[in-house]
Amino acid sequence: MPVLLIIVPLLALLVLNLPWMRLMNRLALWVGLILCLIQFFLVLHSPSFFWEAPPLWLGRLFLFAPSLDYLSLVMFLAIAIVGASALLVCRYSIHDLLEPVKPGACSHKRFLVINLLILALTGMNGVVLANDLFSLYVFLEITAVASYILIVAEKGRDAFEGAFKYLVMSAVATALILAAIALLMLTAGDLSYANIKLAMSASSDSHIVLAAVAMLVVGLFIKGGLIPFHGWLPDAYSAAPAAVSVLLAGIVTKTTGVYTLIRIVLSVIGFSDTLENLLLLIGAASMLVGALAALGQSDFKRMLAYSSISQVGYMVLGLGAGTILGLAGSIFHLFNHAIFKSLLFVNAAAVEQQTGTRDMNRMGGIAEKMPVTGCTSIIAFLSTAGIPPLAGFWSKLIIIVALWQSGHIAYAVLAILASLLTLAYFLSMQRRVFFGKLAAGFENLKEANVWILIPACVLAAITIGVGIGIPWLFETFLLPIRSLL
Amino acid sequence: MSINFIFEPIALPLAAGIIALLFRREQGKACAWFCTAVTAAHLAIATYLFGKEASLTLPWGAFGFEFSLKLYHFSGFIMLAAAGFGFLISLYSTAFMNDRRFLNQYYAYFLLTLGMVNGAVLADNLIVMLFFWESLLLTLFGMIIIGQPQAFKTAVKAFIISGVADLCMMVGIGMTIYMAGTMTMSQIHLPLDTWSSVAFVFLMIGAIAKAGAMPFHSWIPDAAVDAPLPFMALVPAALEKLLGIYFLARISLDLFVLNPRSWLSPLLMVIGCITILLAVMMALIQRDYKRLLSFHAISQVGYMILGIGTAVPVGIVGGLFHMINHAMYKSCLFLSGGAVEKQAGTTDLAKLGGLRAQMPVTFICFVVAAASISGVPPFNGFISKELIYDGALERHWLYYAAALLGSFLTAASFLKLGHAAYLGKPAANHSKVQEAPAAMLIPMIIIAVLCLVFGLWNALPLNNLIQPILGEARLEGHTFAGWHFSVTLVLLTVLVLIGAFLNHIWGAKRAGNGLGAADHIHYAPVLHPLYDKAERRLFDPYEIGLKIVRVIARIAWGVDRGIDYLYDTVAVKVTYAFTSGIRKAHTGSLLAYLSWSLAGLIVIIALIMGGI
């Protein structure tokens, strides 16, 4: 019955857009939050009837048979958490009700954004559930289209530029994926993961299959924003409205890029030396270039965007180790990254909203005025940099150990060095924004309101909790990954 | 006797020392009498314990480590001597120290030092001994530092020199325990082979450094100026000599068996001779009462080491006898210096003179002690030096010659000191100087009388105190008591003394006063530049060590800077070079990004299609 995770949000969207505008406007946020919470608790209560029952009558409308495994559950959890955070940030940062309502034009911007957020969540749920390449493609597109529009919700020049770059690069990715699907269809005659895998093992050295694999992988690299396919990412992340940045950085690119890559590698392509080397190379390049580029940024969100590239590099590096431990580290890091990077973007939203700028050189000493934001930001960046006992430390440690064990010692050393770089640029950020003397002009600065402090605190608590609770989570969170290979 | 009675010599002074700390600043007088009472009681107990034998072993901690004490003749003797000096100097301090600051600390360190010395002497376990031995560093540091505000540097110097020597001793103790397989001192009897000789050298360094031999001496002259004077009379002059020579005798007689054939015996004798000569040469040119005495405190250790180093019974007996004699006359000399300091207000010899008339008792005590240290018959110093000469001559005449030369210079420097301080014209502003108070005179008189007694009736200390340390077997029935010295040697000694006297008369006439009596030696052609350098401390091992340490520190600093440069500058510059390169590449042009992607695509397709 997991198909309900797609159907219910879609129905909710339909209901919300029935013509009772004024009422729906108020309800939209709560509907979105409740959907996320239900998803969250359903995952926590797995395995249960919900996950195992066959699709009901409505579910049968879908032609694909959803697949469900441990990896999907982790993704659902991350999607729910980040989605809820994005919705709350949306409530905080978008004030559409205060704007004058032009007759005939939909000026309910927040309502629009919430609708699109729910649509994007639906799309991502679909990506996670997809069991054949065509469904995957469809849901990828749903997510992407929702994202394009979300980025331009504020209608600035930067937003259009960012959205346009994302659109063009995504279109290239889509074209490559579509071409790959066509080629694989040609070989296998079917698009379900299992059948393609069979067909590929039958004709593993066929040039058509290899070209299809290459195009598919490159398409997903573009979606995930890996070096050198990352050109769209900093612009899109930094130009998007705060809530959208949280969603994009926290989960969208990770689902459409990294999760899909993991899923395709596991279920369709399978590990091979060439693929592992390619993943290691791209992962290490992303990790280092992303971190080095982040070091040179003065725009808060742009720095976080490059940091995102760097962290995705870690995940791909873990996958490239080709072992169960590397895979576990990769998935764990994906989850942790969803939490702490969302938290950082939440903080960035709070800072941007309160100070009116994203230029870190103009800030300083803000922690004095915004203590909660400052504290949660410290937790988030320490977790990102891999400082024990926070969550990010464990996932990085697992990745590094996996690399070491699989004999890729040079990559393990690089991962440690990149960790130092991570610490360097985050310390620089923390010093410029939160610590030191209060910058001129911020004397009347106030702490952000409760709508954004709730997600900040919850995300920080999850980061700490996962880090400290690792001995318990190891059994429930990490060991089940063994079932994936 | 209750077995726990053996604890008393350690526990009583330590407990009293801690109590002394409780006295308030304005209760200095009470504290002084408290300390004197405790030392008197302690002297009574030490007298009672002397000659008794007892031992005590308590399990303490892991690794088979035991807290064991052993009271026997030698340790009883050292304890008795220490208790005697403790009492007399405490009595002296009641008068001398009464207007000083930090009195409660002074008496606390005083008592603690006494307790630690007793502990070190009684200990029968090397680790326990080391514990007490090292604890003395604390009180040493404390006693110097309370002397005056600028004493800090000297205190640190004393602490570091003693600490380094104790570190060597620690190594030696470790080696000894490893080789002997036990920590109990009374069970260790190691033959002197190669490795045990090395252990012996390490232990010897600890022992002779404690006694103040060269090259571990250089803090003593500085302390003489900075530290309170009774400290000098108590610690470097008496207790440290007793303790250092006690341990040297223990390792030469018990723990190892030092025999004349071992290379260690000449080593000890050479150290002894060098210490005698260099220190006395320095003493000769001093112009400060206390500083002059302090160099003699170093020089005289040389005789003891020479005596024990001869490894023949007569030399060892002489060395040990010299230890107790030296403790006596050197304390007495320091005490007389203290009386002069107290009454005349200075110890600068240039500002003193003619004190004989004003301080007759002090003068007489000084004369007795000076005669003893110079080896004038029939005082105790003469007896012990003759014994050492006998021993030295048995080994080689060179050692004897060095010792005799040392005697000549000792006599010369004391003639100079006595002449400058007590004879000659009274200094202008000293007309009102009076004799020292009774509390200061009594200890001096007692010690001076003992100096004479130990000389005239030398059988008393030799038969009762010194010779039992060696034991009947080693003495082979000999006894060194009495007056049966070789006439030639005695004549030589007397000739040397007369020579020193004539030399003094000549020098004093040449310079016009007593202070300049040694100037012809000071400003002799070869010696003058050497003296100059020595006075500027160019030969001070501590200063040389500090220079070496500074060079090492500078190198280490450079390495540290280098590493810092690597991290703080090179790493950062390289990182930012990459960063700025990456920033330049990100122009924001969609075309560029697309072309990167296409290039990546082509490479990856080529890789996968070529690779799989």
ipTM for the assembly: 0.83
Which pLDDT tens digit goes with each residue over A335-352? 999 999 999 999 888 888
Distance (Å, whole) CA B361 – CA B95: 16
* pLDDT band at A268; cut points 50, 70, 90: confident
Tokens 């289209």: give the residue.
A145
For residue B476, give the DSSP letter: T
List all residues 6 or more positions away from A151 whose beta carbon is below 8 Å from its beta carbon. A159, A162, A163, A166, A236, A239, A240, A241, A244, A248
Q: Rounded to whole angstroms, how far apart are CA atoms A337 and A342?
A: 8
Question: Is the confidence at residue A91, as pLDDT, over 50?
Answer: yes
Cα distance between residue A183 and residue A203, in whole Å: 13
Count how many residues are written for chain B: 612
Considering only CB atoms, A292 lies closest to which of B578, B590, B601, namely B578
Contact B253, B470 (CB under 8 A): yes
Taking the C-alpha atoms of residue A331 and residue A259, their distance in angstroms, rounded to an integer, is 8
What are the beta bridge partners of residue B68? B57
Computed on alpha carbons and rounded to an integer, the radius of gyration of chain A in Å comes to 21
- Which of B578, B590, B607 faces A278 most closely, judged by CB atoms? B607
- Report chain B residues whose CB lies below 8 A from the CB of A168: 590, 594
Three state DSSP letters for B16-37: HHHHHCCCCHHHHHHHHHHHHH
What token pair was written down for B334?
């320091």
pLDDT at A363: 84
What ranges in B181-288 are assigned the alpha helix state H? 194-211, 219-226, 229-234, 240-250, 264-284
Neighbours of B10 (CB within 10 A): 22
Give strand pairing partners of B67: B58
Cβ separation B611–A274 shorter than 8 A: yes
Quickly list DSSP for B406-461. Answer: HHHHHHHHHHHHHHHHHSSSPPGGGTT--PPPHHHHHHHHHHHHHHHHHHHTTHHH
Six-digit token pair at B319?
């060395």
Sequence-distant (6+) residues with CB within 8 A of B383 are B321, B325, B454, B455, B458
**Dihedral of alpha carbons A40, A43, A48, A51, sign:** positive
In angstroms, the CA A324 to CA A335 distance is 17
- Chain B within 8 Å of A265 (Cβ-Cβ)? no
- Do the chains contact at B599 and A275, CB–CB below 8 Å? no
In the numeric block, the tokens 């946020």 are attached to A29
Q: How far apart are CA A95 and CA A87, in angstroms?
A: 13
Instruction: Please state, in angstroms and rounded to a whole number, the distance separating the CA atoms of residues A269 and A262.
Output: 10
Count how many residues are written for chain A.
Answer: 485
pTM: 0.64
DSSP state of B216: S
Q: Is A452 on the interface with B (CB under 8 A)?
A: no
What are the sequence ranges of the domains in chain A? 272-485
Tell me if chain B has a CB within 8 Å of the CB of A160.
no
Minimal Cα–Cα distance from B7 to chain A, Å?
53
- The counts of H helices and E strands in chain A are 22, 0
Is B242 exposed, middle or buried (CB count within 10 Å of its CB: 0-12, 13-18, 19+)? Answer: buried
Tell me: pLDDT of A468 over 50. Answer: yes
Contact B596, A228 (CB under 8 A): yes
Angstroms from B601 CA to nearest CA on chain A: 6
Euclidean distance between CA atoms B154 and B144, whole angstroms? 7
| Residue B433 · residue B344 · CB < 8 Å | yes
pLDDT of residue A59: 56
Written as one string, the DSSP assignment of B439-452 is HHHHHHHHHHHHHH
Contact B116, B178 (CB under 8 A): no
The alpha carbon of B66 is separated from its chain's Cα centroid by a whole number of angstroms, namely 28
Tell whether A179 lies on the interface with B, counting CB pairs under 8 A. no
Answer for the pair B596, A282: CB distance below 8 angstroms, yes or no: no
User: Smallest CA–CA separation between A128 and chain B, in Å?
Assistant: 25
Q: Look up residue A200 and give its two tokens.
A: 């590929």
CB A231 to CB B596 under 8 A? yes
Report how far residue B305's alpha carbon sits from residue B65's, in angstroms, rounded to the nearest whole number: 32
- Which of A20-29, A223-232, B502-511 is modeled with the greatest confidence? A223-232
pLDDT reported for residue A95: 67
Q: What is the mean pLDDT of each run of 10 residues along chain B (612 residues)?
A: 70 83 78 83 84 77 74 83 85 77 81 88 85 87 81 84 88 86 80 82 86 80 79 81 85 80 83 86 82 85 85 82 85 84 79 78 85 82 82 82 84 83 73 76 85 79 75 72 74 82 80 72 75 76 85 92 88 87 85 89 85 55
Q: For residue A104, what pLDDT band results from cuts at 50, 70 and 90?
A: very low
